[in-house]
Structure 1
Amino acid sequence: MSGGRPVTTWAAAAEALGARLREVTVRNVVRTSVGGTGLRVRLTNAFGKRAVTFGRVRVGVSRAGAALEPGSNRVVTFGGCAGVTVAPGETVLSDPVAGRVGARQRLAVSVYVRGECDTLTGRNRATAPAYPPLGAWEPAVSPAYRSLPGDHAADEGDDAYVEPVSVWHWLDALTVIAPEPVPVVAALGDSLTTGVGSETGHGWTDLLAHLTGLAVVNEGVSGGKVLAAGTGRPAEERLAREVLTKPGIGTVILQAGVNDLGAGARADDLIAAYRRMVATAHADGVRVVGGTITPFAGAEYHAPEGERARQAVNAFIRQGDVFDAVADFDAALRDPAEPARLLPRYDSGDHLHPSTAGHQAMAAAIDLPSLRQGGPAHVPGPPSSRQRL
C-alpha cells in the first residue's frame, strides 16, 4: 500500500442490539489508531428492519465525558447534505471532513436520529481506551452518551448528554488519508477480542496497538461464532461483508471458534470454515494470522467432546500450511499442569475469559515482526496474499 491512500483508523463490528431510539442524539467516543486527513465516517443500519434517518452528524475532539474541545466540532455531510437516510441492511460513507486528526486521538462522533430507529445496529461491550503518556494507562471512559430528546449534535458541552452507555451506535468505521504507508491489522473474534475479562477494560487488541504502534481495529463480537449468527453475523460472513470492505486492512488476526465448540460444533466444520476464510482474504490480498483456541475447561459450556475438537482445530492451525502466521494463544494461556484449563492467574474467574494478565499474555503471543513485514510469515496462499500488509 502506498502513501496517500485511505486507511481505516478505527472500526467496530456490527451487532443487533434491539434498542428502539427516537429523536435522540448519541455521542460515540472512540480512539483513532493512525492520523491523517480527510476523515470519513461510516454508519451502518445492518440490522435495522426499516430505514433510519440520521438528521445531523458531527465529529469533534473529546475533552472529558461527553464534552468536546471548544471549536473542534465539525459538520459531517453525505453527498453534500447534512442528513442521510440509510436503508435496512445498508452502510453509508460520509464526505471527507476538512482538517487533520491525530494518531491515538479521542474523537466524539455525534449522531442525531430523526424519527425512530426500530433496531439499533451497534457494538456492545464497547470501550474507549486511553494510551499511557508515561507508561501508566489512563482509565477508559464511557464509549457513548445518549442525550435528552432532540438534536444536540452541535453541543460542545455535555449538559444534554445524560445517559452514559457501553454501546457504540451505528458507527462502523472511521477512515483517513494517511501521509505514508501504514500497516492496518483487524482482529476478528469473539468476546476475548472485545476485551471481556480485563479488569482495566484494555484487551489484547489495545495492548497490541500500544506495543506495536500499528493501526489495530477491533472486529470482535461478544458471543460471536464462526459458523452461526449471534447478535452479529457469523465470523465468516463478517470477514467478507464488514472487515474486507474497510480500506487499508492488510492483516486479519482470526481469534474465533470457542463459542462454536461450546455449542457442539464439529472440528471438521470449523476447519473447513477457516479454509474458506483464508481463501477469501487471500483473494483480496490480505494476510491471515490464525489464533489457536484458548482453554475453557470449567466454563459453563465445556464438554469432553468440545475439548477433543479444540485440540484437533489447534493442531490444524499450528500445522502451518493454511494461515500466513500463527498466534498460539492456547500455549500462552494454558495451565501446564492442566492444559485444558487457563492458568489461574490468566483466568478472570469464569474459566473462559482471560484476566488482565491473560490479555497481556495474548498480545505478547503475537509475532510482531510478522505484522510489520510486507509479505506473509509463511509461504501458503496465492501471490495476491503478499501484496500488502
Structure 2
Amino acid sequence: MTTLHEHSTTSRHRTLRLLAVATSAVLVTASATVTAVAAPAATTTVGSWGPGVNAGGPGFTNQTIRQVVHVSAGGTAPRLRLSNLHGTTPLTIGHVDLATQATAGTATTGTHHQVTFAGSTSATIQPGREQLSDPVSMTVNTNQNLLVSVYVPGTTGASTWHPSSADTTYVSTTGDHATDDSTSRYPSTKNSWHFLSGLEVTSTTATGTLVAFGDSITDGLKSSKGTNRRYPDYLARRLATVIGGPQLGVVNAGISGNRVLTDAGSTNGNSALHRFAHDALAQPNVKDVILLEGINDITTNSTLTAKQLTDAYQTLITQAHQAGVAVYGGTITPFGHFSGYTTGRENIRQAVNKWIRTSGTFDGVADFDAAIRDPAETTRILPTYDSGDHLHPGDRGYQAMANAVNLAALRY
C-alpha cells in the first residue's frame, strides 16, 4: 500500500524531536551529597480539537448549548476559543462550563470548571471576532471526551457553527443549565457545534499541531455517530502510540460539502482558498497540514479543469510554506457508482491525483486513493470500506486512510 511519502522538500525542512534532560549538581558541605535535579519538561501549546466554522447557523435565546469535544492530545490548562467569526451582531456569552463526559450529554459529577475570559465569567464577542478563554485549572487526557456548555442570555442571531459534527449537541430549556450534571433540562438535540472553534492545551509531550483539512471525507461524514471514528481521530490515536506520547495534537478542519475554489454557503462553508489561513494556519504551533479536497469541485463545476485545482493547491502550499508549515497532499478518493460519477469527472480526478503524486510540489503524499480503492475496479471504493453511498468511506475505510499516513514523514 502506498503511504505518505517524504519528498526532498520535507527532508530539508523536517525537524527532529529532541528530548534532553538537564541536570544540575550542587556541592554543599563535606558531609553533604551531590544531588542531581531534573529540569522541568518543556511545554508547548497545541491544538487538541477544532472544527472548521461556517456562517448562518441557527440562533438561540436564553439557552444553554452543551457540546461534546474529543481531545486528541492531553495536557493541562485547556483554553477554549469561542467564535463569532461569521456573526453579524455582537454575541454575548453569559457562562461557559467545561466538564468531563460521563456518558452522552451527562457530565461526571464534580468535574465542572467555570471558564473565564480575562477574569470575567461573561464575554461579548464582536462580529468577525473570536475570544480565547483564560486557561482552565484542569488536566485533560488524550482520547477523552469533554462537555462544553455555553449559556447565551439573550438572542444570538445566526450562529457561527459547524453543521455536521458526527456527534450529539444538547440544547436546554430556558435558562443557564451549564453546571447541570444530567440532560434532564436539555430536551432538544442537534448534530452540529455552535460558537466553538477550538480547544488548545499545554502539553509536555506534543510539540505541535497537525491540521487535517478538507471536505466531508475529512469531516467524517457517514462514520458512526458519537464514536470518534473519523480518519483524523484514527490518526490521532496512532500518534498517541508514539513513544513519549502524542507528539502532535490533531485538529479536524474538514467541512462537509466544502470546495477548493468556490464558496458554498452556510452549510458547506467558504472555499479552501478563503478559509485556509484561519482554519489551518492560525492553529497554535501548527507544523503539518494534510490537504484532502477537490471532489466537490469535480462533481459540481461543469467547467472545471484539473489545472484549476492544482493551481489552487499551489496557492495553499505557498501560503503554508510562508508560515513555515509543511503540507501533504491527500489523493482524491474514488467515487465510482456514486450518483455524481461520470467518465469525464473521473478523468479530472485521475489527472489531479497524478499531479499530487508526481509533481513534488507537496512536502509529501498521503495516498488515500490507493488505500481504499477496489483493486478489481479502481474507480470505486472497496466495498468493505464503503459507507454505502460510494463517495464516503465507512469506519473501516476511515481507519485505512489513517493507516496510510506515514508518521515518520511528519514534522514534530
Query: What's the TM-score, normalizing by structure 2?
Result: 0.83
Tell me which structure has the larger Cα radius of gyration: 2
Q: C-alpha separation between the residues in 1 aligned to 2:295 and 2:132?
A: 33
Q: Choose 83-92 or 254-263, whichever is displaced more.
A: 83-92
Alignment of 1:180-195 (within 5 A): 180-195=205-220
Q: Any idea what the Cα deviations from partners look like across 1:107-158, whole Å, max 9, x if unmatched? A: 111101121121122222213xxxxxxxxxxxxxx43211111111122332
Q: 2:117·2:133 contact (CA, 8 Å) conserved in 1?
A: yes
Residue of structure 2 aligned with 1:159, choices 165, 172, 184:
184
Change (3 A) 1:7 1:199: closer
Residue of structure 2 aligned with 1:225, choices 250, 253, 259:
259
Q: 1:53·1:84 contact (CA, 8 Å) conserved in 2?
A: yes
Q: C-alpha separation between the residues in 2 aligned to 1:48 and 1:39?
A: 25
Gaps of 5+ in 2: 1-16, 19-41, 241-245
Q: C-alpha separation between the residues in 2 aligned to 1:301 and 1:281?
A: 32
Residue of structure 2 aligned with 1:239, choices 252, 255, 276:
276
Query: Is residue 120 of structure 2 the alignment partner of residue 95 of structure 1?
Result: no
Distance apart, 1:322 and its partner CA: 0.9
SS class of match (2:187): strand
Q: Any idea what the Cα deviations from partners look like across 1:82-120, whole Å, max 9, x if unmatched? A: 111112221111111123222222111110112112112
Alignment of 1:1-389 (within 5 A): 3-127=42-166, 142-199=167-224, 202-213=229-240, 214=246, 215-230=249-264, 231-264=268-301, 265-371=304-410, 374=411, 389=412
Q: 1:17·1:124 contact (CA, 8 Å) conserved in 2?
A: no
Q: 2:114·2:121 contact (CA, 8 Å) conserved in 1?
A: yes
Q: Any idea what the Cα deviations from partners look like across 1:179-199, whole Å, max 9, x if unmatched? A: 244342111011111112334
Gaps of 5+ in 1: 128-141, 375-388
Q: C-alpha separation between the residues in 2 aligned to 1:234 and 1:12?
A: 15
Paired letter, 2:173: L
Q: 2:72·2:233 contact (CA, 8 Å) conserved in 1?
A: no
SS class of match (2:296): helix
| Cα RMSD after superposing both structures | 1.8
Change (3 A) 1:84 1:317: same
Paired letter, 1:175: E
Moved over 6 A (4+): none
- Among the aligned pairs, what percent are the same residue? 40
Q: C-alpha separation between the residues in 2 aligned to 1:177 and 1:357?
A: 32
Q: Choose 256-265 or 96-105, whichever is displaced more.
A: 96-105
Q: 1:290·1:325 contact (CA, 8 Å) conserved in 2?
A: yes
Distance apart, 1:56 and its partner CA: 1.0
Query: What's the TM-score, normalizing by structure 1?
Result: 0.87
Q: C-alpha separation between the residues in 2 aligned to 1:106 and 1:294?
A: 29
